[in-house]
Structure 1
Amino acid sequence: MKIDELMFAESDGVPNNPHLPVLVYHRAIDVSGDTARDFEMRFHANDWGGLWRNGVFGYHHYHSQAHEVLGIATGSARLLIGGQAGRELEVAAGDAIVLPAGTGHCRLMASDDFLVVGGYPPGQRADVQRPPATEADREAIASVPLPRLDPVLAADGPAVTVWRRAVRA
């Protein structure tokens, strides 16, 4: 599995996260079985809940009160992460993305069979915010606690190790 770390500055009213990188896990799950169920089991085992199955909204939005994991269960898509000046990402079944609170994301294109399994760390809820960000949004983003476990790789994953280093820096 290859993991990319991506940082984004504020972009056109999308706050992004000033300290924590977006984490992109290429081929996080083997797609030979029931990938949606496998993502759900992995996320649940790593204490990420509020699990849902759907897609990604086709408009820029972010969450000010939660970090979010997106596991691509089936199909493929092109997502724009980080607002208008962000980065386009091609994702396919088996990939996962962990978005720190405040990170803008939207769907630009998706295959007809595109399905995402999403979830959040314990006690966090996904408010859907649209740009422009307010000062209250920025304060909420800064106060979202780090997860105890990475949704894909548990205690040794970058949502624990990399994010903790980023906060201390």
Structure 2
Amino acid sequence: MAAQEILIRDDGIFPGNFLPVLLYKGALDVPLLFPATHVTQLFKKNGWSNSWDAGIFTYHHYHSITHEVLGIYSGQTTVQLGGYSGPKLLLEKGDVLVIPAGVAHKNLNEEDAVGVVGAYPDGRDYDMNYGKPGERPKADERIAAVPIPDSDRLSGKGGELSKRWAKYLKAGRDQADVAG
């Protein structure tokens, strides 16, 4: 399944990440009955758990201790990534958005404009950061320590997500070697 890759870098307020956000349009086959349960179970089967079922917050926030997947099971909305001047994406029923640690995200519509299941690799806990003074550099240190998941949120172990992000991790290390 083809994903749109969106790189979100540090804007001076929000850290961003060298790993791309991945948008999978129409990736979910959402059933009419119990759609949130279906998405929750799909993510859980593939190693992404500690899930929640709600809308998307209407303020910029990011997580510094985990990556996050959002599965849209109803409605549509526009989400802004990376802070106040970041790109805007239309999310609609069936879409999946994978957000690396450190990438800010905000719903530009009503919080409940979409039904969303969010989950985290290996059931990791999550924290909330808002781009406030004093969050960094500790948040940057935590983001750098977050591992790449070994399980794809849709296809399980050894899936496409891990392979895509591994190439960015290698490129990031190679650039660090050249700079150092």
Calculate the TM-score normalised by the size of structure 1.
0.92
Per residue, is there more helix in 1 or in 2?
2
Q: Percent identity?
A: 37
Partner residue in 1 for 2:19: 20
- Structure 1 distance, partners of 2:23, 2:14, is 19
AA in 1 matched with 2:118: G
- Structure 2 distance, partners of 1:81, 1:157, is 24
Asked if 1:126 is matched to 2:126, the reply is yes
Structure 2 gap ranges (5+): 172-180
Q: Does the 8 A contact of 1:78 with 1:110 survive in 2?
A: no
Matches within 5 A, 1:1-169: 1-17=1-17, 19-33=18-32, 34-110=34-110, 114-122=114-122, 124-132=124-132, 133-169=135-171
Structure 1 gap ranges (5+): none
Aligned residues between the structures = 168
Partner residue in 1 for 2:176: none
**SS in structure 2 at match of 1:90:** strand
- Structure 2 distance, partners of 1:47, 1:76, is 26
**SS in structure 1 at match of 2:161:** coil
CA offset at residue 153 of structure 1? 2.6
- Structure 1 distance, partners of 2:157, 2:141, is 27
Question: Deviations along 1:64-87, whole A, 9 cap, x unmatched?
Answer: 001000000111111001111211
Q: Does the 8 A contact of 1:3 with 1:23 survive in 2?
A: yes
Calculate the TM-score normalised by the size of structure 2.
0.87
Q: Alpha carbons of 1:3 and 1:94: their partners in 2 closer, same or farther (altered >3 Å)?
A: same
